[in-house]
Chain A
Amino acid sequence: VTAAAWVFDVVHLATIVTLAWGSVTARDPFTGIVRFIAFGLLAALAWARLGAPDLALAEAAIGAGLTGALLLSTLGRMRSRQRAAAVPADGEAPAAARPLLAALVFALGLVVGLLVLTSAWSIAGDRDPSAGPVDAELLAESGIESEVAAVLLDVRGYDTLLEMAVLFVALLAVWCLGVVRFRRPPWPDDPVLTSLAGLMVPILLLLAAHLLAAGLHEAGGGFQAGAVLAAGGVLWTLADRRALRLGVRPWARIGLVAGLVGMVAAAAAPTFAGRPPLDQPAETASTRGFLLELGIAVSVGLTLTALFAGGLAERPLRQLRREREARP
């Protein structure tokens, strides 16, 4: 078993490093992105190998899938001349390969990384080995079975609260930067894609519901469910341009902030009872945890789908006309 594990891990990591190398050095950015997506899938396998199935789920859906789709979509919207030229329209000429600079920067990155590695080891050496991974009392107090979910929702709830805020701000930034034309989307209709989306979106919805339901006990949870929802949302956006209008629909806007509002409520509620923020009693943890995870899943799924659209969709003509008529 040990020999097989060594062979697997060495081949796996060699492939990961080679794909990372290939995605950086590819002459054509399209090739680089395809290699990056393959890299992300192998990274998901690495998380599974390291005993972190929650990360494997999120990496496969977000790290490989959504990030790759975002990169490809932006590349596809560039004019072919800009795509080939390596610089902005008014920028300087493409830089020639600079092997010495590349070697120096690579060495710098290695040194920094290895310093972090060795210092982490020396800290680990000072630690009491019987102490266990994380404060077991804190985890037990949270009243949530899954350790990762307990950390996300209770022990380090601030992280999750701020993360939802980051997602929201990112969406506002993308909406400020671009308007997506509804009648002329940047990709053509495709019958194969349409039927694939019709088949996959219900399956992905089901999978997201399972991950959400399982989240408090085993691998899964709001973020993973949201990532799977977003994968469905991206397919939907590609197949049906009506999805581009997600950002202008009132029900979707409620969903976009559900996770953030939920976390703010969970942070504020205990303060009325005189306890510190986010300090919730363990008795109600499973119901509260599920509601929070539900809000997070809906928000993450809708926000990532809206981020993929690349901007706020212009309002429908009918609505514009009505607004014009209403004006005095």
Chain B
Amino acid sequence: VTSLDLYPFAGVVVFALGLTGLVVRPHLITKILSVNLMATGASLLLVGLARDPSGATDPVPQAMVLTGIVVAVSATAVALALVARLYRADPDSVESSD
């Protein structure tokens, strides 16, 4: 057992915190942020478990998480565009904040 074995556990805690934020917090921006926390927590779990006894990290989970990071930011951008649309008074323009 090394201290690196703690990382998947931290991933579980971060995932649970993100899930809680998604369900409990009312602000939509906080909800989107929470989904990103869940994604990072799941990734920590996945990569944290992927070390073999020699200490090398399996490249397949690494590639999957790399894909996941890019997909997460795309999904976040779409979600935020939806939020911006929802909050906007004039549907044809992006208003500056007052």
Which A residues fall within an 8 A CB radius of B? Answer: 2, 5-6, 8-10, 13, 16-17, 20-21, 23-26, 29, 32-33, 36, 39-40, 43, 46-47, 49-52, 54-55, 58-59, 62-63, 66-67, 70-71, 73-80, 82-83, 86-89, 94-95, 97-98, 101-102, 105-110, 112-114, 116-117, 120-121, 124, 129, 132-134, 139, 147-148, 150-152, 155-156, 159-160, 163, 166-167, 170-171, 173-174, 177-181, 184, 186-187, 223, 227, 300, 303-304, 307-308, 310-311
A63-B69, A134-B60 known; A51 vs B51 contact (CB < 8 Å): yes
> When the two chains form their complex, are residues B70 and A76 in contact, meaning their CB atoms are under 8 A apart?
no
CB nearest neighbor in A for B98: A79
A residues near B44, Cβ cutoff 8 Å: 43, 46
> When the two chains form their complex, are residues A113 and B16 in contact, meaning their CB atoms are under 8 A apart?
yes
A109-B16, A148-B62, A170-B74 known; A177 vs B94 contact (CB < 8 Å): no
Max count, chain A CB within 10 A of own CB: residue among B25, B60, B73: B73
> When the two chains form their complex, are residues B23 and A24 in contact, meaning their CB atoms are under 8 A apart?
no
CA A98 – CA B21 in complex, angstroms?
11
CA A74 – CA B76 in complex, angstroms?
11
> When the two chains form their complex, are residues A52 and B37 in contact, meaning their CB atoms are under 8 A apart?
no
Residue of B7, B15, B29, B73 touching A46 (CB-CB under 8 A): B7
A residues near B84, Cβ cutoff 8 Å: 74, 77-78, 177-178, 310
Residue of B4, B17, B65 touching A17 (CB-CB under 8 A): B17
> When the two chains form their complex, are residues A105 and B24 in contact, meaning their CB atoms are under 8 A apart?
yes
CA A109 – CA B11 in complex, angstroms?
11
> When the two chains form their complex, are residues B56 and A117 in contact, meaning their CB atoms are under 8 A apart?
no
A9-B3, A62-B69, A181-B93 known; A23 vs B80 contact (CB < 8 Å): no
Of the A-B pairs whose beta carbons lie under 8 Å apart in the complex, a sample of 10, sorted by A's number, is A24-B37, A47-B47, A62-B73, A70-B76, A112-B15, A117-B45, A174-B78, A178-B85, A187-B96, A223-B70
CA A11 – CA B18 in complex, angstroms?
20
Q: A55-B43, A74-B80 are in contact. List 9 more A-B contacts (CB 8 A).
A: A5-B2, A17-B10, A17-B14, A36-B33, A54-B62, A66-B73, A117-B8, A163-B70, A173-B81
Residue of B3, B29, B30, B95 touching A6 (CB-CB under 8 A): B3
CA A311 – CA B24 in complex, angstroms?
30
CA A117 – CA B7 in complex, angstroms?
11
In the complex, how many angstroms separate the beta carbon of A116 from the nearest chain B beta carbon?
A: 7
User: Interface majority SS on A: helix, strand, loop or mixed?
Assistant: helix
User: Interface majority SS on B: helix, strand, loop or mixed?
Assistant: helix
B residues near A74, Cβ cutoff 8 Å: 29, 80, 83-84
CA A67 – CA B73 in complex, angstroms?
6
B residues near A223, Cβ cutoff 8 Å: 66, 70
CB nearest neighbor in B for A29: B29
In the complex, how many angstroms separate the beta carbon of A295 from the nearest chain B beta carbon?
A: 14
> When the two chains form their complex, are residues B20 and A36 in contact, meaning their CB atoms are under 8 A apart?
no
User: Which 10 residue pairs across A and B have the least CB separation, nearest first?
Assistant: A109-B16, A113-B12, A24-B21, A170-B74, A133-B58, A147-B59, A9-B3, A109-B19, A307-B77, A151-B63
In the complex, how many angstroms separate the beta carbon of A203 from the nearest chain B beta carbon?
A: 22
